[in-house]
Structure 1
């Protein structure tokens, strides 16, 4: 049976409705990706979100929300006195900006119990995490996480990683580069976004990004580039896959949902190019709804191209 674990931070999401009121939901980069995979994988597939939760009412709502939508929490700890982070989305047209309150979020302690973390990652078909997952952890916790991922990979799990560089979460670019390099050494499927790579490494083109990652011996690379085509590299074979042009309402979660569509397609057995086409379709549908999480029916319709 296929089973997936995504590691990171699920936050309280407040999104404006346009009339001075706010809608409360739950989201976060790796959770958004898992949400798409849950919609697109067979109902029998296992999907777990690996993090740490608080014992407050909002954390209880998070866990119930996941359970109601077929997402488990594996052995994620529930920590006394902790609480989730929060962010608010404001829109200018379809483009979004974020305000965060997350410095003491429970997810920063997701590696606080190494035994529970390792148990959460055991016997998973696919493990997915991101540069944000790394950035919210201190150096010692980051090592615990990467050691657990390395052990799971040695036991047969495939590892997917999106560097997802967010400068505000890192002390400096060198710290981000070092941590991301450690993660890439464990990566089977890399899912970077070109503007992030350009900001962190100075890549001039998406081809520069694929070349750098290929030199790191990563066999499968997909470089996203917003509304531009993505580049797909699989064991040295490079293909360009056009994006789908739509009238966007809210671009929140577009790259995350692309990742979810791509990984779900690969788990279904589609080749990388077909997986990228389906991922573009999923992302195009997501930007036509408000908030990071599109309804399952919307994602499933997009995937069945």
Structure 2
């Protein structure tokens, strides 16, 4: 992987949105924040390993909330070098409603989101990605773009891979963002074919591919040449594979489940942070699982900083190690 002067580096591609979260099963109380699947992962990666250089590739507007998000990036130590600005589009917005079991539903206002035009905005400013070890993107990043920009994103990722950057992909399927299963399948497969690390979910694959079990996913990703992947399989937990062989299975049993928002995002971020630190796959899964266990116990995508320390302590106890 490319070397830089700042230690290891993770670049996430995606969309940052204003988050309105409704708690206490009431629409009368909402908390305002900023979030997005790959951005959430980036924040948790940085929290887990403060030595990582974490940068976000996206676009925002020049509206009030877009200006506020720059302060949000700074507060979380996210490099905004690759965040373009649009003068005629704004930052998107979404709301979350949580049910009594901690499951969530979403509503979106993102048709005029600047992130939908990030590829053309970056092309106009001649953005060059450099000194990156892993690029992480998702099916959501693909889904918000035009067909031409989807292809442009795939070509950008492919060019970076040819330059020695490792590629990580999470399908993170949202049905409303695609014209049908075949549409999503086409672009997911393009992404998987480029991926050194994949983070598929059984629910996503069941919806898109009709895969009924983990073995179906394993066979499919093996056929596409993906060598390392972790399948998030609900009650079965997380199953990690390298070269088609299952190297670990980690059950997922949080003490309590308040809100599942960003559970998968936090898992992705910490897993990638651990792999960048040359931890083996099983150890990386254990670290990511410890973080996700904490995240589901809080409301919202970005939970209190103290949860990271709790996760690290749990991880150390589980692995019997004095230090991470």
TM-score, normalization: structure 1? 0.95
Which residue matches 2:285? 276
Greater CA deviation, 19-28 or 53-62? 19-28
Q: CA deviation at 1:62?
A: 0.7
Q: For the Cα contact (< 8 Å) 1:5–1:127, is it kept in 2?
A: yes
Q: For the Cα contact (< 8 Å) 1:114–1:144, is it kept in 2?
A: no
Which residue matches 1:22? 30
Give the unaligned 5+ runs of structure 2: 1-6, 316-324
User: 1:25-44 deviations in whole A, cap 9, x for unaligned?
Assistant: 00111111111111012x33
Shift in alpha-carbon separation, 1:255–1:116, aligned structure 2, 3 A: farther
Q: CA deviation at 1:175?
A: 1.0
Inter-partner Cα distance in structure 2 for 1:75 and 1:280: 29
Which residue matches 1:174? 182
Inter-partner Cα distance in structure 1 for 2:250 and 2:66: 39
Which residue matches 1:81? 88
Which residue matches 1:61? 68
Inter-partner Cα distance in structure 1 for 2:66 and 2:156: 25
RMSD: 1.6
Inter-partner Cα distance in structure 1 for 2:233 and 2:124: 36
Inter-partner Cα distance in structure 2 for 1:118 and 1:44: 28
Inter-partner Cα distance in structure 2 for 1:66 and 1:98: 23
Which residue matches 2:136? 128
Q: CA deviation at 1:121?
A: 2.9
Which residue matches 2:311? 302
Inter-partner Cα distance in structure 2 for 1:227 and 1:11: 30
Q: For the Cα contact (< 8 Å) 1:189–1:220, is it kept in 2?
A: yes
Shift in alpha-carbon separation, 1:70–1:264, aligned structure 2, 3 A: same
What does residue range 94-243 of structure 1 map to in structure 2 within 5 Å? 94-115=102-123, 119=127, 121-238=129-246, 239-243=248-252
How many pairs align? Answer: 304
Q: CA deviation at 1:245?
A: 3.2
Which residue matches 2:99? 92
Does 1:254 pair with 2:260?
A: no
Does 1:266 pair with 2:275?
A: yes
Does 1:293 pair with 2:302?
A: yes
Q: CA deviation at 1:117?
A: 8.2
Give the unaligned 5+ runs of structure 1: none
Inter-partner Cα distance in structure 1 for 2:30 and 2:284: 35
Q: CA deviation at 1:243?
A: 1.7
Inter-partner Cα distance in structure 2 for 1:256 and 1:7: 13
Inter-partner Cα distance in structure 2 for 1:53 and 1:289: 27
Inter-partner Cα distance in structure 1 for 2:120 and 2:185: 24
